[in-house]
Amino acid sequence: DVPVIVDFYANWCGPCRMLAPVLEKVALAYDGQVKIVKVNVDDEAELASQFSVSSIPTLAFIVSGEVVGQASGVASERDLSGVI
């Protein structure tokens, strides 16, 4: 029903840990307007492969079941707000 941001991460990834609080702020700011889900690439390697994740963190932006964009690296709250 709402756009989804998929966060592909790993527990050992420093930039992934830097992105986590940013995603939490965005989730609170856009509660009900966007859903943020996390996928651990170590646990879900096949799913990461399906999304062509080659580096982490990678964010996939999904609208109506279709991937409409993807970004790698640490993003700011402002960057994500612009995408949303």
Question: 4, 10, 13, 47: which is the annotated catalytic residue?
Answer: 13
Whole-model pTM? Answer: 0.93
What lies within 8 Å, CB to CB, of 2 at 6+ separation is: 32, 33, 34, 35
Is residue 75 within 8 Å of residue 22, measured between CB atoms?
Answer: yes
What lies within 8 Å, CB to CB, of 16 at 6+ separation is: 7, 9, 10, 56, 57
Q: Is 13 a catalytic residue?
A: yes
Place 10 in a pLDDT band, splitting at 50, 70 and 90.
very high
What's the confidence (pLDDT) of residue 42?
A: 97
Helix (H, G, I), strand (E, B) or coil at 41: coil
Tens-place pLDDT, residues 33-77: 999 999 999 999 999 999 999 999 999 999 999 999 999 999 999
Question: 16, 41, 59, 60: which is the annotated catalytic residue?
Answer: 16
Residue 45 burial by Cβ neighbours in a 10 Å radius (0-12, 13-18, 19+): exposed
Q: Is 16 a catalytic residue?
A: yes
pLDDT higher than threshold 90 for residue 84 = no
